[in-house]
Structure 1
Amino acid sequence: MFFTYLRRELRRRRKAALVVASGLALGIALVIVVTSVSSGMGKAQDKVLQSLYGLGTDMTVTKAASPTASASDRPRFQFDAQDNDSDAEQSTDRVMVQGFQTLSTATVTKVGKQGGVSDAVGGLSLQVLKVDGQFTRGQFQQNDNAGGAGGQQGGGAGGNGGGNGQPQGEVQGGGANFDVNSYSVYGTDVTEPALGPLTSSTITSGRTFKTTENNGKVAVLDSAYAKEKSLKVGSTLTISKVKFSVIGIATADSGDAAANVYLPLTQAQTLSDSKDKVTTIYVKATDSQKIDSVKSTIQKNVSGTTVTTSADLADTVSGSLSTASSLATNVGKWLSIAVLIAAFLVAGLLTSSAVSRRVREFGTLKALGWKSGRVTRQVVGEAMVNGLLGGALGIALGLGGAYVVTAISPTLQAQLGGGGGGGGQGGPG
């Protein structure tokens, strides 16, 4: 009897039931869409932050570079004199530490021993300035008119002619033509492949480093740099007269690559005369929920260093990602809550209004022997069916809306608000 009467009443008042269900559906759908967009913004931010910083780690430890006026820090280039072959091509490299002040490898060990630290690995960020080109010898051209004039003047002066006996003329042509090329190099600890800048890229050609190649003359190139320089697996890359064999090509998963060239850490330290030095320490925490406490521990026990987490970096992110994430998280959250409350209030008011118009009907039912509890259960049953119908419809609309948002969503970008020099990806900013 309960379900028979319920089915009959819903059919008889299907317009009112549809209005109530639609209101609930729109509210629920909006909450689902906004929640999905907010979650998508969070995942997009994590992905972009990984390209800027994360690299499979929880935090990085660095030491800010102090300003210096030393002339030795300025790029200087020296070329050998080649008298016998002045047109020969000249080439020289200047390898410099980039971004941060160096830390001792002993600091890596010290950081790794701190409480809450699962693993710590060092890396060295370098910048290479390569100058190559050639000098061209000029040609001396004798000026016959000047020599004749000098002879006449010398004859009139009693033997001082001919311009003191020296040929008159000028040097024509010659000069120098040099090209300056700058690219970034990152020394990575090949014994710890799970940490470091190379983890933000995927090997698309060749292979990555072996754990036994810490002192090997091998290199992995970023795909964009390899394409620009027409390099491939098997090519040879020369840095400061040291030849490295290209063993792999890596493509950044998102954003820009950490460096143009990746070398084993020991080789990078040798090239830059930075033995047992690193610029960045990548730290993996034992518990991702205790990153803040691990950060405090490192800052307390390892003086003079700066510890940066992904949360710290998120505060400096600017661009479309930051704007969209803020909009979805703040405005969307309160908007969805307000709409959901409004939908339930409207549904409640419509249900209450429908009940008030059915007073005569309920009186007839009570006259037929229905008790007040039975009438109440009948009304509650109708409201529950409307709610379930609205909920199902709302979930379907919400999932459809989330799918549409995913399909038409733009590509989001982010950059460090501090000008990008803070060591994005633990390397060149």
Structure 2
Amino acid sequence: MFFTYLRRELRRRRKAALVVALGLALGIGLVITVDSVSSGMDQAQGKVLKSLYGLGTDMTVTKAAPAAGTGSTTRPKFDFDANSNGKSQSSDRVTVQGFQTLSSSVVGTVGKQKNVASAVGGLNLQVLKINGTFTPGQFQQRQSTSGAGGGPGGGSGGSGAPQGEVKGGGAQFDANSYTLYGVDVSNLSLGPLTSSKITSGTTFTAADADAKVMVADSAYAKQNKLKVGSTVTVKGTKYKVIGIATADSGDAAANLYLPLKQAQTLSSSANKVTTVYVKAADSKQISGVKSEIQKNISGTTVTTSADLASTVSGSLSTASSLATNVGKWLSIAVLIAAFLVAGLLTSSAVSRRVREFGTLKALGWKSGRVTRQVMGEALVNGLIGGVLGIALGLAGAFAVTEISPSLTAQLGSSASSGGTGGPGGGGPGGFGGGARQAASKTLDVALSAPVSAGTIVLAVGLAIGGGLIAGAFGGWRASRLRPADALRRVE
């Protein structure tokens, strides 16, 4: 009887039911779209942080470079053979980039801290390569003229020294700068190389700890026509390219990667690292691990993913703020309005059915049965609204994903803190010790709006909640009706 009457009433009052369902659908659809866009913002921000940290890294430990004018600094020095007679020459200067070096023992100390799952070290280097040739000039003697100086050399001083000039010769050089990163090949699950995918060749293995091999970033490899099997010469040592890596977020941490021990040898930084990458045993313990490391290892800067997230600016930051604040509050406001409208419409519909419910009560229906009937109708309206709302929300999320607007994210380091913790923190242009520039990294990230199962469950819950709220309004009104009210409406 309940379902028969329910079906008949919903069919008879299709327009009213559709209005209630559409109101709920609008609120639910907006909630789904905003929640999906917010999830897309989180994913986009995760890509930005991953480009610096690498997959699985929770924090980094670095030491700020000394202030300009302090510490030992050396001028760039390049050695060339002036008697090469046109032969091409090159000279490399390999320097530590961005941070002061830390002893490799710090990696072990960090790894032993409470709630630290693992820790690895990395060495960030910059190579300035000068290429060119020297061509000696040719001395050409002037021909003597009689009477000019009385001497055989034609000179006015009569010294007999040959007179003439050097013609031709000279030097032509060009400079090229690129970044190297020393990777701990014994643990490739941490560090910046994990944010890149090997698209050609292979990555490092534990057996490559002292091998003269490299992995090249795909953009740098394309620019310099490198491929698997090519060789790159650094300070007279030839390294074989064994793999090409493409950064997931579009911007690699370094141009070339090589085993940590080789990087230490090239830069004369034996047993030194610039960055310690740390993975916490529990993501909830990251702040505690940070405090523990700062307390036990003085003079270091510990940077977590939350610290980096706070420095993200650009349109990604603006859009994320809008989605988190304005978008969510707007969706909540619309949802509350939809619930209230659904409740008022249901209550109004009950008012128009006074004669019907009064007659049913006169025939023996209890108030509870009438209330259950009204709430059943409202719940079905809510479920219909939920289905429509899910369809609207999925359509909105699909539209955002298809349009895929491009957002820019700029992650800048602080000059006083010695960088962000990523390998590029010191900036690419520094020669002198400690290159303390405030570096920044700009990425373009395509926005998507993924819809999770949790979002669908939330939508179903809202639909049921909206139906119950609307039913509560109408049921309360229906329970107050008396059979005598039906007789007053009889014409």
TM-score, normalised via structure 1 length: 0.93
Query: Which amino acid in structure 2 is aligned with residue 422 of structure 1?
Result: G
What is the deviation of 1:335? 0.8
Matched, 1:75 2:76: yes
Q: Does 1:89 align with 2:92?
A: no
1:219-230, aligned counterparts within 5 Å?
219-230=214-225
Deviation of 1:159 (Å): 10
* Whole-angstrom distance in 2 between the partners of 1:22 and 1:190: 58
Q: How does 1:225-244 map to 2 (within 5 A)?
A: 225-244=220-239
Q: Which amino acid aligns with 1:396?
A: A
Cα contact 1:218–1:245 (8 A) shared by 2: yes
Q: Counterpart of 1:220 in structure 2: which amino acid? A: V
Deviation at 1:153, TM superposition (A): 4.2
- Code of the residue aligned with 1:112 in structure 2: it is G
The residue number in structure 1 matching 2:257 is 262
Letter aligned with residue 73 of structure 1:
T
Question: What CA deviation, in whole Å up to 9, does each residue of 1:223-251 have, x standing for no partner?
Answer: 11111111111111110011111111111
Q: 1:354 aligns with which of 349, 352, 372?
A: 349
Cα deviations across residues 47-95 of structure 1 (Å, max 9, x unaligned)?
Answer: 221012244211000000002436743322121342xx42122211000
Match of 2:23 in 1: 23
C-alpha spacing 1:412/1:425, structure 2 compared with 1 (3 Å): farther
- Shift of the alpha carbon at 1:190? 0.6
| Cα distance in 2 for residues equivalent to 1:40 and 1:105 | 38
1:207 to 202, 208, 226: 202
Query: Which one of the candidate residues 238, 244, 252 is aligned to 1:249?
Result: 244
| Residue 286 (structure 1) aligned to one of 281, 284, 288 | 281
Structure 1: how far apart are the matches of 2:359 and 2:343? 24
2:169 corresponds to: 174
* 1:16 positional shift: 0.7
Following TM superposition, the consecutive aligned residue runs of length 4 or more in structure 1 with deviations greater than 6 angstroms are none
Cα pair 1:92 1:130 within 8 Å, conserved: yes
> Which residue type is aligned with residue 78 of structure 1?
D
**Match of 1:49, as an amino acid?**
L
Aligned to 2:155: 162
1:81/1:348 CA distance change after superposition, 3 Å: same
Cα shift at 1:306? 0.4
Report the counterpart of residue 46 of structure 1 in structure 2.
Answer: 46
Cα distance in 2 for residues equivalent to 1:96 and 1:61: 20
Alpha-carbon separation, structure 1, partners of 2:303 and 2:197: 24
Q: Secondary structure at the match of 2:77?
A: coil
Where 1:413 maps in the other structure, the secondary structure is strand
Q: Which position in structure 2 is the counterpart of 1:422? A: 419
> Is 1:390 the counterpart of 2:385 in the alignment?
yes
Give identity over the alignment, percent.
73
Distance 1:204 1:160 in 2: 71
Corresponding residue number in structure 2 for 1:106:
105
CA RMSD of aligned residues (A): 2.0
More deviation, 370-379/183-192: 370-379
Indicate if the aligned counterparts of 2:33 and 2:396 stay in contact, CA closer than 8 A.
yes
Measured after TM superposition, the shift of residue 179 of structure 1 is: 1.0
1:132 CA displacement? 1.0
- Partner of 1:377: helix, strand, or coil? helix
- SS of the equivalent of 2:56 reads coil
Match in the other structure for 1:118: 117
State the Cα deviation string for residues 191-242 of structure 1 (Å, max 9, x = none). 1111122111111111111102111111111111111111111111110011
Equivalenced residue count is 421
Moved more, 118-127 or 361-370: 361-370
Question: Matches of 2:45 and 2:36 in 1, distance apart?
Answer: 14
Q: Where do residues 369-388 of structure 1 align in structure 2 (5 Å cutoff)? A: 369-388=364-383
Most deviating of 62-71 and 236-245:
62-71
Q: State how 1:406-417 maps to structure 2 within 5 Å.
A: 406-417=401-412
**TM-score with structure 2 length normalisation?**
0.82
The residue identity in structure 2 corresponding to 1:11 is: R
Question: Amino acid of the residue matched to residue 426 of structure 1?
Answer: P
1:127 correspondence with 2:126: yes
Structure 2 match to 1:33: 33
Contact 2:54–2:194 under 8 Å retained in 1? no
Kept in 2, the 8 Å contact 1:55–1:425? The answer is: no
CA contact (8 A) 1:25 1:394 kept: yes
Deviation digits for residues 113-145 of structure 1 (CA, Å, limit 9, x no counterpart): 11111111111000000001011122333444x
Q: Please list every run of 5 or more consecutive structure 2 residues that lacks an aligned counterpart in the other structure.
A: 428-491
